[in-house]
Amino acid sequence: MAIALAYAGPQCPRCGIVLTADHLRNGIITCPICVRPFEATVFTPPERPRVAVAETHVVAGPVEANACANHARNAAVTSCARCGLFICSLCEMNVGTGSYCPSCFDRVRAEGTLAPVATRYRDWASIARLTAIVGLLFYIFWPFVGGLALFFAVKGMRQRKEQGRSRIGMAIVMLIAIGEIVGGIVIYGFMVWAFTRGIK
Amino acid sequence: MIDPNRTLLGKWSSPLNRVRVYQTAEGLDVETHEHFEVANTRVFYEDVQLVTIHREYGTLYLTLTGLFSFGFLLLFGYMATLGEAGVVAGAVIFIMMGLPFTVAFLTRAFWGVDVVTVFGRRSKATLRFKFRKRHAREVYGKICALVRAAQRVAFAPPAEASPAESLAPPIPDSVLLPPPEQ
Ligand SMILES: [Zn+2]
Ligand SMILES: [Zn+2]
Ligand SMILES: [Zn+2]
C-alpha cells in the first residue's frame, strides 16, 4: 500500500520533492531543493475526460485523511485496485472483487476482463524457498519442515502455473523438501535403532 | 492474469524489498516483493509526465560499507601487531567478513548506480542499473519512445478535423499582393 500512498505527480528522482510545472523541461534539470542534477524528458498527456461527478458532495473525513485525486475536498475512502490512486466514495467503482478509479474501471470494462486484478498477493514460492533452505539447518525437525516446505511449494507451484512463470525453482524446492523428509526419517530411524541397541 | 508477453526491463534488490519492472503493451508493470507479499502497480504510457535518468552513489550505502570495511581493516591492523599468527588470523577474518564490504564500497564508489524513473500521473516506476550504463541509457530511450508513441495514438486529433489552411480568413482586396514573378 505504501507504494502509491505519497505519490502526487512528477518528483525530483533524487530527493523526492514534488516538482512544479516550471521546473519541468527537457534536458538537464537541477533540483530546486537538493540542487543535484538529473536528465529529463517531459511529456504533457492531455487530461483524460473524467467521469462527471458532482463536486459539491463533500464527504467529511478525518482532518489528516488523504484527499481524493479527483476531488480535492473529499477524503479518500480507498485506493484503486489497479493503479493505486486515492478515490473518494463518489469515484469508487466497486465491482465486488475490488474498488477501481473511474478511468481504470472504464479500461477494465472495455477489456472485458472484470476478473479481480489483484494488486497484492502472498508469494508462496518465496515462503516455500525460505522454509526449505532454513529448514536444512534444523535436521532434528527435517520431516516437519520438509512437509511444511512441500505444502508451500505445492501452493507456490500452482501460483507460478497460473501466472505462466517458470516452475523449475519450485521443483527444486520440492526435491529439497522430499530430501528433508526422507533424511529426517532416516535420522529418526537411526536414533531409534541406537536407542534400542543401548537398552540391550 | 499476468501478461505473458511482458518483458523484464530491470530488477533490483535491497534489504527491504525486491523490485522488478516489466514492459507491457500499455505500460510498465512494477512488481514489488516485500515480506512475502507481492504488490503490483502499473504506470500507463498514456499517463507518463516525466522520465528521468541520473547517476547516484548513495551516501548511506557508501558510509555503511565504508565503515564496515574500515572496521575490519583496523581489526586486521591490530591483529597484525600480535605476531605472525595474528597476521594470518587477521587476514582470514578480513577476507571472510571485511572484503565483501570493501568490494561493495569500491564498486559503488567507482560505478555508482544509474537510475531511470518514470513518473505517471498516478504512479511511478524506478529502474536501477549497477554496471550496464549503456543499457540504462537504452532503457531510458526505449521508455521515452514507447510513451511518445502511446500518447500520439491515444490523443491524436480526430481525423475529420479540417486542415488549418481552410480556416484562415480570405485575403482582403485592400491588401497589395507582391506582383507575380515573371
Ligand atoms: Zn531534489
Ligand atoms: Zn485506477
Ligand atoms: Zn472523488
Residue B50 and residue A165: Cβ atoms within 8 Å? no
| Residues paired with B40 in a beta bridge | B31
**Cβ-nearest to A123 among B37, B56, B122:** B37
The per-residue pLDDT for range B128-140, each reduced to its tens digit, is 998 888 999 999 9
pLDDT at A124: 86
Position B180 in a domain: no
Q: Give the closest ligand to the alpha carbon of residue A10.
A: 1
Q: Lowest-pLDDT range, B90-104, B145-159, B163-177?
A: B163-177
- Please identify which residue in the block is written with the cell numbers 504488490: B39
Rg of chain A taking only CA atoms, in angstroms: 27
pTM of the shown model: 0.62
Give A167's DSSP letter: -
Indicate if B88 and B126 belong to the same structural domain.
no
Tell me which of A50 and B40 has the higher pLDDT: B40
**Residues less than 5 Å from ion ligand 2, measured at CB:** A 80, 82-83, 85, 101, 104
Domain with A180 in it: 124-199
- pLDDT value for A49: 44
Q: Is B138 left (phi over 0), alpha (psi -120 to 50) or beta?
A: alpha
Is residue A70 assigned to a domain?
Answer: yes
Instruction: Flag whether B78 is in a domain.
Output: yes
Handedness of CA B104, B108, B110, B113 (dihedral sign): positive
Interchain contact, B37 vs A115, CB within 8 Å: no
Same domain as A80, residue A19 = no
Instruction: Please report whether residue B149 resides in a domain.
Output: yes
Asked if the Cβ–Cβ distance from B52 to A36 is below 8 Å, we say no
**In terms of domains, do B50 and B72 share one?**
no
Which pLDDT does position B162 carry in this prediction?
44
Q: How many CB pairs under 8 A join A and B?
A: 112
A73 belongs to a structural domain: yes
Classify residue A85: in a domain, yes or no.
yes
pLDDT of residue A37: 92
User: What is residue A88's predicted lDDT score, i.e. its pLDDT?
Assistant: 82
Mean pLDDT rounded to a whole number for chain B: 82
CA B162-B47-A46 angle, 5° bins: 30
- Domain of B76 in residue numbering reads as 59-110
Closest CB to A13 among B36, B117, B147 = B117
What pLDDT score does A112 carry? 56
pLDDT of B47: 82
Classify residue A54: in a domain, yes or no: no
* Short-list A90, A59, A93, A53, CA closest to A75: A59
- For residue A69, is it within any domain? yes
Chain A residues lying within 8 Å of B121, measured CB to CB = 9, 45
pLDDT score at B164: 44
Tell me whether residue B89 is in a domain: yes
Are residue A33 and residue A71 in the same domain, yes or no?
no
| Nearest residue to A157 (alpha-carbon basis) of A143, A144, A173, A145 | A173
Please check whether residue A1 lies inside any domain of the structure: no
In a domain, B171, yes or no: no
Question: Nearest-CA distance from A60 to chain B in Å?
Answer: 23
B37/A165 touch (CB, cutoff 8 Å), yes or no = no
pLDDT of B161 reads: 44
Q: What percent of chain B has pLDDT over 70?
A: 82
Average pLDDT over residues B165-179: 51
Residue identified by cell 555508482 is: B112
| Same domain for B124 and B42 | yes
CA distances from A115 to A65, A98, B21, B22 (A): 30, 10, 23, 21
In chain A, the residue whose alpha carbon lies closest to the alpha carbon of B37 is A122
Strand segments (E) across chain B = 7-13, 18-23, 27-34, 37-44, 50-56, 113-119, 124-129
Name which of A94, A62, A77, A37 is nearest B55 in CA terms.
A37
**Rounded Cα gap, residues A20 and A115, in angstroms:** 37
Q: Looking at the structure, do residues B65 and B147 belong to the same domain, yes or no?
A: no
The residue among B42 and A65 whose pLDDT is bigger is: B42
Spatial separation of the C-alpha atoms in residues A176 and A139, rounded to whole Å: 13
Residue B41: phi, psi to the nearest 5? -130, 160
B32 plus B44 within the same structural domain: yes
- The reply to whether B169 falls in a domain is no
Q: How many CB atoms lie within 10 A of CB B135?
A: 14
B48 lies in the same domain as B35? yes
| Among candidates A45, A117, A162 on the partner chain, residue whose Cβ is nearest the Cβ of B48 | A45
B137–A contact, CB cutoff 8 A: no
Instruction: Verify that B149 and B64 share a domain, yes or no.
Output: no
Interchain pair B39, A1: CB under 8 A: yes
Q: Which of A79, A95, A115 is the last residue of a domain?
A: A115
Query: How confident is the model over A90-111, as pLDDT tens digits?
Result: 877 776 667 788 887 777 766 6
Whether residue B35 lies inside any domain: the answer is yes
Residues A111 and A130 in one domain: no
B72 and B150 together in one domain: no
With CA atoms as reference, report the closest residue to B45 among B115, B127, B120: B120
Tell me the C-alpha distance between B37 and A3, whole Å.
13
Cβ separation of A83 and B42 shorter than 8 Å? yes
Of B110, B127, B144, the position where a domain reaches its end is B110
Kindly report, residue by residue over A108-131, the tens digit of the pLDDT: 766 655 443 336 678 888 889 989
Q: Which residues of A touch B51 (CB under 8 A)?
A: 40-41, 43
Residues A101 and A138 in one domain: no
Work out the percent of chain A whose per-residue pLDDT is above 90: 24
Whether residue B63 sits in one domain with residue B106: yes
Q: For chain B, what is the domain count?
A: 2
C-beta separation of A159 from B76 below 8 A: no
Residue B173 lies in a domain: no
Same domain, B12 and B53: yes
Residue B18 and residue B101 in one domain:
no
Q: Is A14 on the interface with B (CB under 8 A)?
A: yes
Domain contains A128: yes
Residues A130 and A172 in one domain: yes
**B117 C-alpha to center of ligand 1: Å?**
13
CA distance B40 to A121: 9
- Asked if residue B104 and residue B16 are part of one domain, the reply reads no
Domain total of chain A? 3
Range of weakest confidence among A80-84, B142-146, B154-158: B154-158
| B166 pLDDT tier (thresholds 50, 70, 90) | very low
Q: Are residues A88 and A39 in the same domain?
A: no
Q: Which residue of A has its CA nearest to B116?
A: A13
Q: Is residue A51 part of a domain?
A: no
